[in-house]
Amino acid sequence: MPVIRHHPDSTGSAAVCHRAAPTAGTIKRVFKLFRRRQKGTELRVRSRSESAHTSRPTNVRIDFLAPDSEVLVGTLAYFKLAAFEYLTGVLPLIEQPDLRAQTASVAEELLTRHRHYRGAFGQGDSELTFGGVQVHQADSDELWSRLSPNLWQEAVLAVYLVDGFADDFVARLGKGAKLRTGLRWPVAERSETDAALAVLAQEIERTDWLADRLAMWGRRLVGDSLLWCRALMVLPDPVLRALRDTSLHRDDEVQQVISQIEAVHADLIAGHTARMERLGLTA
């Protein structure tokens, strides 16, 4: 640390500070700290998604907060149906026939996955029959109703991001869950080629201003997605109160549960960020 010496000024009435001249040893240490890196080394700033994955544990389990496995599957089945209806609502707004057809295929995939999940309950009279299981229909309806797009591309992005968010969370929440029918998690694998990703990539390439607009929209989706996730967990009252009011005192047990939830949330956000980065969008 530099030495600060005090000397009277020329009038002798006040004191001024003069920083001591650095010694040869100090100069040598400074140059050593800032000398050029050796060849072959690289200084790289990690992306936000990398930071989230490395700063949080990725093997934290929250399945002890899960509802019955039938509720999980039924809720995800209804979620896919609600997403299907959300996306088909914007199809008339797409003028280009090829893009409309591609977006329709995204909606068709949602309906296929809905029927796959619903198939765990056997045959029913309607798409909304889940063998008497009370699924979280209202939470899914509220989520999609809050996501009011101004552009059809925003609706496609919402489905791409929020659907991925939900799949990641339910797979994490239902880790190890087994249905009476023997259906295990993940109950359906996501396609490696995402049609929504292809549609959005074309539109971003074609329209200069769209990327900034979609990036802002994508960031907005995180909060609503996390609220849907919270509603699906079976939380003890002390934990629920602490999440709603951060000023409340938390005992060690409550804090431990909240820390586990926050760790999983960080992983979910990292996955959300990675999906945005595939489109070149800043999360």
Contact between residue 265 and residue 173 where contact means Cβ atoms under 8 Å apart: no
Tokens representing residue 70 in the block: 């039938």
Please name every residue paired with 6 in a beta bridge, in sequence order, or none if there are none.
17
Indicate whether 115 and 10 sit together in one domain.
Answer: no
Residue 28 lies in a domain: yes
Distance CA 7, CA 30 (A): 27
Indicate whether 17 and 72 sit together in one domain.
Answer: no
User: How many structural domains does the chain have?
Assistant: 2
Indicate whether 190 and 152 sit together in one domain.
Answer: yes
Indicate whether 235 and 175 sit together in one domain.
Answer: yes
Distance CA 78, CA 7 (A): 79
**pLDDT tens profile 140-169:** 999 999 999 999 999 999 999 999 999 999
Tell which residue, 194, 190, 196, has the closest CA to residue 155: 196
Below-50 pLDDT ranges, the chain = 1-57
The pLDDT of residue 57 is: 45
Residue 42 lies in a domain: no
Indicate whether 94 and 20 sit together in one domain.
Answer: no
As a dihedral over the C-alpha atoms of residue 223, residue 228, residue 233, residue 238, rounded to 10 degrees, the angle is 50
Tell which residue, 102, 52, 111, 50, has the closest CA to residue 79: 111
**pLDDT tens profile 201-248:** 999 999 999 999 999 999 999 999 999 999 999 999 999 999 999 898
What range defines the domain where residue 232 resides? 60-278
The pLDDT of residue 26 is: 41
Contact between residue 235 and residue 253 where contact means Cβ atoms under 8 Å apart: no
Radius of gyration over every alpha carbon of the chain, rounded to an integer in angstroms: 27
CATH number at residue 227: 1.20.1260.10
